[in-house]
Amino acid sequence: MGASALFRTLQLLWLLPILLLLSSSPWSASASESSQNFFQCLVNNSDPSRPISSAIHTQNSASFPSILQFYIRNLRFNTTETPKPILIITPSHESHVEVAVICAKKHSIHMKIRSGGHDYEGRSYVSVESPFFVLDMFNLRNIEIDMSTETAWVEAGASLGEVYYRIAEKSKTHGFPAGVCPTVGVGGHVSGAGYGNLMRKYGVSSDNVIDAKLVDVNGRILDRKSMGEDLFWAIRGAASSFGVMLAFKIKLVHVPEVVTVFKVSRTLEQNATDIVFNWQKVAPNIDRDLFIRLILEVVRDSESGNKKTVRATFIALFLGDSKRLLSLMNQEFPQLGLKDSDCIETSWVRTVLFWENMDIEEPIEILLDRQSRKPVFLKRKSDYVKEPISRDGWEGIWKKMLELEDAVMYFNPYGGRMAEIPAMATAFPHRAGNLWKIQYQTNWKEEGEEATQHYLNLARELHKYMTPFVSKNPRQAFLNYKDLELGIKHSNGKKNYNEGKVYGVQYFNENFNRLVQIKTKVDPSDFFRHEQSIPALPFPRNIPVLSEWFNSIVVIILLYVLLWRKCWHSSPKG
């Protein structure tokens, strides 16, 4: 064999594994063909007694635009340029979720899961991967309450408002530790830990989950027993990386029949600096029946000539009557000057209306309304604070806020039960050692890239300015305050772990590596992925497919060696 013939032979052998890979790769088919095959797979494999066809909404369906947009809360991701899913599936039965996973995996269609749409970065309905579809869980919203065991099974598509309403139907003295916004979907909220104004008393939402049902990467429905304790640990704080959550079994908690709320504001001219300085010492350490959120924002103060000032608003829930609250506040936090006229006694379920700035006397059926306030353009970021801030530090913060003007900070105090639960009890790690959590907010109504960049930069600048005052090594963040600026995964391959670690340690601290190990075991192909999902380790040994490819590569290498030896020995020596 001549040198040129030998070279061509080696070229063909070198291309062989690549050709084999392409011939079996989903990318070898066109996107439209893949989408059509996916659609047929859904229809052909759904349970005949519960056909999925009525739950499929393609881009040509009249229902598609309204379903897509109904749960979009951030207008940044509702433009003509925003990538659209090839279809939306709105399952009305668990079997629809099973077949959606099986067919999406078979035809390599990327899946996004939505249960409420409050994700700040729109990742439940937007993807950089194509093609993709949205699995919208809003029809799976059944709530079954068992007062004999003080538990409830809640499907992922239910809203928090629906949960609170159904609990109130059964009891005046039970509640559930979760968010104060009633239109938030249970699936995403609890999956990312979830928190609310009961957390100092009872922990976060996921601390009160005692069982769960999910669809895994193989399309199986698993509960706590069948999924095992490792996976059950992981889904309480990072569930979106491991499967489709169908339902959570939650533990109801006790609340008094009468609780008290208040909302008091003070500007810098009304001694806000001194009050805030004392709040930071009081709020994480006071009786765990009391939760006092602090909101800092720039306003115009008419009493001082309409000039800009910083306003501190203290909004609180107390699990008791106003008399006991006033006694506690006078003893522990007299700087606020709380008066009896500031206090409102009501039922726990009505405090949700108060925190949402609704009329507290509204019929509580309003909690069943799933339509949120009018969507706006928004950006959110987060931080954790471990040490009190000095007076000089606060003075600097006021100056920066007055400079930026349109950036707001929400401070949510920890302590109480949050300081008692170990950081490794669930995937959610932010426990003891944290005084409070910060949410940075910018909202705007102006359209256009210039306005968007302006407001994004406001959040970035305030976040950057707060660096000396917040957690370090790593700088920690809260998963449900999704922030893609912390880092994203750009690929589904070797770089996954290194890319995922950048944001992963900020969201999960020392729990990150355990989450990676569990992910690699239960979803090695990284099917349940998104821009900030838990990565799987590359080329894990327990993947049969990879073992087959490894064997094939070994065979090809042996063929190279044999062919080379044959060519070498048969060529003329000279």
Catalytic residue IDs: 481
* Block residue for tokens 């003075």: 395
Q: Answer whether 134's CB lies under 8 Å from 112's CB.
A: yes
If we measure between CA atoms, which residue out of 4, 10, 8 comes closest to residue 562?
10
Q: Round to whole Å and give the CA distance between 514 and 230.
A: 9
437 class by beta-carbon count within 10 Å (0-12 exposed, 13-18 middle, 19+ buried)? buried
Structure tokens at 182: 């009633």
Q: Answer whether 254's CB lies under 8 Å from 262's CB.
A: no
* Block residue for tokens 């070898």: 28
If we measure between CA atoms, which residue out of 402, 503, 394, 531 comes closest to residue 458?
402
Q: Round to whole Å and give the CA distance between 293 and 198.
A: 12
If we measure between CA atoms, which residue out of 456, 446, 440 comes closest to residue 376?
446
Q: Round to whole Å and give the CA distance between 490 and 479.
A: 19
Q: Which helix (H) or strand (E) covers residue 58, if one does? A: strand 56-58
Secondary structure tally for the chain: helices H, strands E: 17, 18
Q: How many Cβ atoms from other residues are within 10 Å of residue 52's Cβ? A: 24
Q: Which pairing describes strands 253-254 and 174-175: parallel, antiparallel, or unpaired?
A: antiparallel
Strand ordering across the sheet containing 110-114 = 56-58, 87-89, 132-136, 110-114
Which residues, other chains included, contact 164 with Cβ-Cβ below 8 Å and sequence gap of 6+?
Answer: 175, 176, 182, 349, 352, 367
DSSP string, 372-430: -SPPBEEEEEEEEE-SPPPHHHHHHHHHHHHHH-S-EEEEEE--GGGGTS-TTSSS---
* Block residue for tokens 């919208």: 136
- Chain length of the chain: 574
Q: Which helix (H) or strand (E) covers residue 345, if one does? A: strand 343-346
Q: How many Cβ atoms from other residues are within 10 Å of residue 311's Cβ? A: 18
C-alpha radius of gyration, the chain, whole number: 27
If we measure between CA atoms, which residue out of 337, 317, 263 comes closest to residue 295?
263
State residue 475 phi and psi, 5-degree precision. -75, 120
Q: Round to whole Å and give the CA distance between 141 and 116.
A: 11
